[in-house]
Chains A and B, each alone.
Chain A
């Protein structure tokens, strides 16, 4: 019965991870359960500075409705946030602030760079604009466009979800990850 309803409304329910199933029990890997939990409870911190931030507002609005996936809880504080969404032109003067926000976030954390400006400085090849946030913090997913359409921002978030879901639980403790952080000068 429930299967039928799901088909009719075209709803997609988060799939159960691979595992061994039997009457009354289900066994799977811890990594997969944790990945599923993380991917479906992202807490994004929107760091919006200009036009791309406005586009993000449209994405949050009823028409595009970012919340339709029922997983994100936006917070304007780095506390407990685990997805940093950088949307807009980042001036060099703002660089230290952005970095501080990233450093204050808890592990595991992901970064979504929305738009040409955040990813590469965009059209602002000038003395005052940071030529891409990946000069100061690591970025997981880049969303191209100036500005990107709301669908693209949603796509970016789904890509982050995919990353969170498939990430090994040990990745953040690996020497490679420490090296990556050190290359940005972050402890």
Chain B
């Protein structure tokens, strides 16, 4: 089923967007597509509105960062319930300019998930109606899940590093 989904979505995307740079692979039996971030919104819109693919449900949306290249990315999980098709869309951009079009116009459920991704990774979703922190304190001036920030609380002076294995 997953291989079929992969092939079908791949073929559809290729006919719809000729010349698109698309990486399609099967990871743990799950179809994964890596797309260019400038095209991501268009592709998501197509995947949702195409009557055959009809990915009407955004299961998940989150950020990710690769340690080596300091690249930041956004990941979308899409689900077509009637046909039980699931795919994952990945897109990367330069960490110095973390901007991408919002998906809130396609799925209302993207609203909170994008706020969370902004809160933790600092990805700016252009067009989002209310892009402010959602889980962390407003005064926080870091994006905790980015690999350049320490996860420990920096205000402690009573914990000796050697006792905590760091």
Contact = CB atoms under 8 A, between A and B. Distances in A.
A79 B135 CA distance: 29
Interface stretch (B15-23, B60-68, B89-97, B150-158): B150-158
A133 to B, nearest CB: 14
Contact of A125 (B135, B142, B152): B152
Contact of B142 (A126, A127, A129): A127
A149 to B, nearest CB: 25
A129 B151 CA distance: 11
Given A93-B137, A128-B135, 4 more contacts: A126-B151, A127-B140, A127-B151, A127-B153
B136 interface: yes
Interface in B120-165: 135-137, 140, 142, 144, 149-156, 159, 164
22 contacts: A92-B136, A92-B137, A93-B135, A93-B136, A121-B153, A125-B152, A125-B164, A126-B152, A127-B136, A127-B140, A127-B144, A127-B149, A127-B150, A127-B151, A127-B152, A127-B153, A127-B154, A128-B135, A128-B144, A129-B153, A131-B153, A131-B155
A125 B166 CA distance: 12
Contacts of A92: 136-137
Interface residues of A, number: 9
B119 to A, nearest CB: 11
Nearest to B166: A125
A136 to B, nearest CB: 12
B38 to A, nearest CB: 32
B136 A126 contact: no
Interface in A47-88: none
A121 B136 CA distance: 16
B161 to A, nearest CB: 11
Contacts of B156: 121, 125, 131
B154 to A, nearest CB: 8
Nearest to A130: B153
Nearest to A129: B153
A126 B153 contact: yes
Nearest to A96: B137
B159 A128 contact: no
A93 B119 CA distance: 13
Interface string B38-65: 0000000000000000000000000000
Q: Which among A92, A126, A127 has the highest number of chain B CB atoms within 10 Å?
A: A127
A125 B148 CA distance: 18
Nearest to B155: A131
Contacts of A128: 135-136, 144
